[in-house]
Structure 1
Amino acid sequence: MSSAHDRAVLNQILNPLMPTSDSGPGDVHLEADTVDHPQYTESQQLEKEGVALAEGGKVREALEKFSEAISTCPLNPSAYNNRAQAYRLSQQPDEALEDLNEALRLAGAKSRTACQAYVQRASIWRLQGDDEKARADFAAAAELGSSFAKMQLVALNPYAAMCNKMLAEVFEKVKTGKD
């Protein structure tokens, strides 16, 4: 059985250009959202209902539920993040970006919501062809521990992708005993 450190070393060998941080895998401890507002719990419940609606394909109703959660507790960053996701599903990237900016403003620097919001915002930038902004947001999410963001950073670097492909081919040849 391998340790977390062994897996981190192997991952660095197989993905040499993937960003690393001072902390090893699993060492990034993200804070839960903590909001000092009397209706925060009610807002969270409305969010859960919105998520269920979105998962059921009722995106328009989910948007309404997330908006209600925000009206109930305008300091809840997760509600903005979830509504941004619904806006993305509704092909409304400008509204999604607005909500993601607000989620990031409200969220703590090392919160789960901030990590998710950076990934979402980076994905929108990427779809809009702004790889520089996407790279910056993916880097921020990667620093918060998002493995998806780390993979996207590699994908945004054509030299890293080429190097990883060549390295994978070498390992495959070694594994199969081919020259």
Structure 2
Amino acid sequence: MASAHDRAVLQAIFNPTSPFGDVPGLDLEEELIDDDSGFDTELLKQVRELEVRGVSAAEAGDLQGALQLFSQAIHILPERASAYNNRAQALRLLGDTAGALADLDRAVTLSGSAGRTACQALVQRGLLRRLQCQNDAARADFERAAALGSEFARQQVVALNPYAALCNKMLSEVINKLRNPDVSEMQ
């Protein structure tokens, strides 16, 4: 049975353009949970139901309805990060980037930069910042999300690092030449 180190070495050999250390199946983001223990259980149940309905409304194309449901959830538990993260997505889809960024900032702050919601909010904020050509701020968000276990964020960190991208490209070229040697170079 291969160890984690063995899998990482094989990943680097067979997928030279992927970030070093990335081993498929080790995305820690899926294991993150939010600490909702400080909230009243009945209110938390109400808020979660509103969020589920909001997500369903957004998936059905009713972004205004989703926005209202997420806002209701925020009104009930204004110190819970998840509804801000969800509302930010609805705002983004409606074209309100400034509102989305404000909600993502709030989600990161309320989450204490830990847990699933923080990870998701950091990735979403990083993407919005990248679209606004704020690459340094985007990279900082992706680095924080990567530290929480997001595979996607790790990939974005590498994509935003020109030196790592150049090294990965050069390594890929060397491995491709080793796999497919040019016969004319051998003579």
Letter in 1 for 2:72: E
Cα distance between partner residues in 1 of 2:57 and 2:159: 32
TM-score, normalization by structure 1: 0.85
The runs of 5 or more residues in structure 2 that have no matched partner are none
Please say which of residues 50-59 and 165-174 is displaced more in the overlay: 165-174
Cα distance between partner residues in 1 of 2:17 and 2:93: 34
The 5-angstrom pairing of residues 20-99 of structure 1 reads 25=26, 30-38=32-40, 39-99=43-103
Cα distance between partner residues in 2 of 1:95 and 1:35: 28
CA radius of gyration, larger in: 2
The runs of 5 or more residues in structure 1 that have no matched partner are none
Cα distance between partner residues in 1 of 2:27 and 2:5: 10
| Residue-pair matches, total | 177
Q: Does 1:110 align with 2:138?
A: no
Cα distance between partner residues in 1 of 2:138 and 2:91: 18
CA displacement at 1:49 relative to structure 2: 0.8
What is the match of residue 127 of structure 1?
Answer: 131
Please say which of residues 38-47 and 12-21 is displaced more in the overlay: 12-21
Following TM superposition, where does structure 1 have runs of at least 4 consecutive aligned residues deviating by more than 6 angstroms? Answer: none
CA displacement at 1:7 relative to structure 2: 2.4
Letter in 1 for 2:67: L
CA displacement at 1:32 relative to structure 2: 2.5
What is the match of residue 141 of structure 2?
Answer: 137
Letter in 2 for 1:7: R
Cα distance between partner residues in 2 of 1:15 and 1:109: 31
What is the root-mean-square deviation in Å for CA atoms of aligned residues?
2.6
Residues 114-155 of structure 1, C-alpha deviations (whole Å, 9 max, x = no match): 101111111111111111111111100010011111111111
Asked if the contact 2:28–2:148 (Cα under 8 Å) also holds between the matched residues in 1, the reply is no
Same amino acid, percent of matched pairs? 48
What is the match of residue 5 of structure 1?
Answer: 5
Asked if the contact 2:34–2:115 (Cα under 8 Å) also holds between the matched residues in 1, the reply is yes
What is the match of residue 151 of structure 1?
Answer: 155
Shift of the 43–154 alpha-carbon distance from structure 1 to 2, 3 Å rule, reads: same
Asked if the contact 1:35–1:76 (Cα under 8 Å) also holds between the matched residues in 2, the reply is no
Asked if the contact 1:107–1:113 (Cα under 8 Å) also holds between the matched residues in 2, the reply is yes
Residues 22-54 of structure 1, C-alpha deviations (whole Å, 9 max, x = no match): xxx456753323152331111011101111111
Letter in 2 for 1:34: D
CA displacement at 1:160 relative to structure 2: 1.6
Q: 2:171 aligned to 159, 167, 170, which one?
A: 167
